[in-house]
């Protein structure tokens, strides 16, 4: 295998294309299997035709001699070779491109994250947010402690807006001003990562602009240009019904959806878990089970 990184990438791309071509049944793409095929799977000319490119260009790619394919060429190859989500992303990376995200239907919630959120419903407030941190699902405890935000208009259901804009999630927080600033700084550093991952698209830039207009604190922290995926600060909130609740954060990301599950766990050695149990009992009279965005 070549030692140079670029040469290695070209080699791996060529090998991946060849192996996926040979593993693809002609009948799967609507071609006759025939009796005189000399190669397993598809022929190079068949892949080139399905991908809407010249046979010579495709042949050069399989021989590690072709130029870096464009994103459009990669999209055509992924479709022609019937690649799944993981294979498609891998092909884009080998070709030197970021894999485009697959649009999700309105109201979509990652089923794996939703399962975990429901599994911790008896012990931990939790919510699922999309890749711009707008909440798309909450469990009973999260709704009980922080209020329902799924399905609200504009940015009202966005976690960053709930901290810096409306202050909906900040008002009950008991942390000192210095600690609250540290939490906010971590949020902003995390938003920097999100905005870059979305390639500074219109929605991400609109959120930043609106947060800047609404909060001088956000604007100041944004200008620090800190970048981090972590915001593991302990947060304490005051609930009028049961008293003080002390939480640690945990974060889980969906491998394909890019949605994120946020869970708050009772700090050991505090009365938080017992108080959460009391809150569950108090909420039994309501209808606050799992709240999701309705598309």
pLDDT of residue 85: 82
pLDDT of residue 289: 43
Kindly write down the DSSP assignment for every residue of 228-286, as one continuous string: -S-----EEEEETTTEEEEEEEEEEE-TTT--EEEEEEEPTTSSHHHHHHHHHHHHTTS
- Strands of 243-253's sheet in order across: 235-239, 243-253, 260-266, 126-129, 135-138, 291-292
Contacts of 40 (CB under 8 A, 6+ apart): 22, 23
pLDDT of residue 158: 97
Does the fold of domain 111-174+230-292 match that of domain 5-94?
no
Judged by DSSP in three states, 20 sits in helix
**Segment 48-89, tens digit of pLDDT:** 999 999 999 999 999 998 788 999 999 999 999 999 888 998
CATH number for the domain whose boundaries are 5-94: 1.10.260.40
pLDDT of residue 102: 67
Nearest C-alpha neighbor of 15 from the set 79, 80, 64: 64
Q: Look up residue 105 and give its DSSP letter.
A: -
Contacts of 147 (CB under 8 A, 6+ apart): 168
Separation of alpha carbons 90 and 101, rounded Å: 13
Q: Mark the ranges of the chain whose per-residue pLDDT is less than 50.
A: 1, 287-291, 293-295
Q: Are 14 and 61 in contact (CB under 8 A)?
A: yes
For residue 41, what are its two tokens?
A: 């799977």
**Segment 172-205, tens digit of pLDDT:** 999 999 999 999 999 999 999 999 888 899 999 9
Q: The CATH number of 111-174+230-292 is which of 3.30.450, 3.30.920, 3.40.50, 1.10.3210?
A: 3.30.450
User: Where along the chain do its domains lie?
Assistant: 5-94, 111-174+230-292
Q: How big is the CA angle at 29 (ends 26 and 34), to the nearest 5 degrees?
A: 25
């Amino acid at each position: 295998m070549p030692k140079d990184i670029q040469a290695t990438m070209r080699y791996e791309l060529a090998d991946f294309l060849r192996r996926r071509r040979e593993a693809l049944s002609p009948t799967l793409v609507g071609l006759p299997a025939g009796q005189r095929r000399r190669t397993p799977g598809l022929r190079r000319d068949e892949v080139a035709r399905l991908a809407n490119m010249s046979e010579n260009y495709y042949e050069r790619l399989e021989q590690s001699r072709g130029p870096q394919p464009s994103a459009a060429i990669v999209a055509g190859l992924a479709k022609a070779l019937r690649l799944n989500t993981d294979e498609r992303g891998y092909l884009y990376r080998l070709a030197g491109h970021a894999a485009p995200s697959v649009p999700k239907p309105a109201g979509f919630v990652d089923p794996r994250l939703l399962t975990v959120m429901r599994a911790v419903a008896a012990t931990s407030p939790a919510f699922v947010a999309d890749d711009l941190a707008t909440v798309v699902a909450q469990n009973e405890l999260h709704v009980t402690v922080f209020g329902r935000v799924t399905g609200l208009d504009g940015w009202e259901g966005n976690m960053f807006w709930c901290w810096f804009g409306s202050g909906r999630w900040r008002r009950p927080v008991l942390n000192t001003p210095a600690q609250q600033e540290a939490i906010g700084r971590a949020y902003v550093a995390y938003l920097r990562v999100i905005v870059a991952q979305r390639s500074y698209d219109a929605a991400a830039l609109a959120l930043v602009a609106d947060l800047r207009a609404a909060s001088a604190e956000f604007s100041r922290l944004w200008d620090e240009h800190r970048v981090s995926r972590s915001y593991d600060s302990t947060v304490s909130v005051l609930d009028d019904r049961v008293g003080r609740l002390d939480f640690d954060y945990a974060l889980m990301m969906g491998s394909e959806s890019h949605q994120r599950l946020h869970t708050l766990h009772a700090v050991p050695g505090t009365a938080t878990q017992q108080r959460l149990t009391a809150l569950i009992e108090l909420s039994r009279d309501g209808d606050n089970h799992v709240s999701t965005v309705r598309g």
